[in-house]
């Protein structure tokens, strides 16, 4: 597997394996893939051993997109990411979507620790 550019199949295989992160910057490499649909699917799957990791990826992608300098379409992209999760009734996905909405509507300020640093599961940002 090319850890810097994994395929959807490779990501899915890893998600259901007992293997540790293949690289210390695995979340960074996966964020480049922008496979938000896959990350939502895996974060919503209670049978996925790495469910929390993929929830982290959802926050990570929003965080990296939000912090991009001078990208006029970044808010539209973030909104489209959250909309992809609208068909999921899983609590963590609902919380993520609500946190994204609060960020986009200026009800919370961007905070690195919340979006890219790993604070996420079951947490309502304030």
Q: For the whole prediction, is pTM greater than 0.85?
A: yes
| pLDDT score at 125 | 44
Average pLDDT for residues 81-110, to the nearest whole number? 90
| pLDDT score at 80 | 95
Query: Do 84 and 36 contact (CB within 8 A), yes or no?
Result: yes
| CA distance between the termini of the chain | 39
Tens-place pLDDT, residues 18-38? 998 888 888 888 888 789 999
Tens-place pLDDT, residues 39-73? 999 999 999 999 999 999 999 999 989 888 877 88
| pLDDT score at 24 | 85
* 6-15 contacts, C-beta under 8 A, 24 or more apart: 6/30, 6/33, 8/35, 8/38, 11/35, 11/38, 12/38, 12/42, 14/50, 15/42, 15/48, 15/49, 15/50, 15/53, 15/54
Domain ranges of the chain: 8-115
Give percent of the chain with pLDDT exceeding 90. Answer: 51
């Amino acid at each position: 597997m090319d850890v810097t550019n994994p395929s959807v199949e490779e990501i899915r295989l890893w998600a259901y394996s007992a293997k540790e992160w293949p690289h210390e910057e695995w979340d960074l490499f996966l964020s480049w893939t922008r496979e938000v649909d896959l990350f939502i699917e895996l974060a919503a799957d209670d049978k996925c051993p790495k469910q929390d990791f993929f929830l982290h990826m959802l926050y990570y992608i929003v965080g990296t997109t939000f912090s991009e300098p001078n990208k006029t379409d970044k808010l539209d992209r973030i909104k489209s990411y959250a909309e992809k999760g609208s068909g999921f009734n899983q609590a963590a996905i609902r919380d993520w979507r609500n946190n994204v909405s609060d960020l986009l509507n200026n009800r919370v300020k961007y905070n690195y620790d919340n979006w890219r640093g790993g604070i996420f599961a079951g947490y309502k940002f304030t």
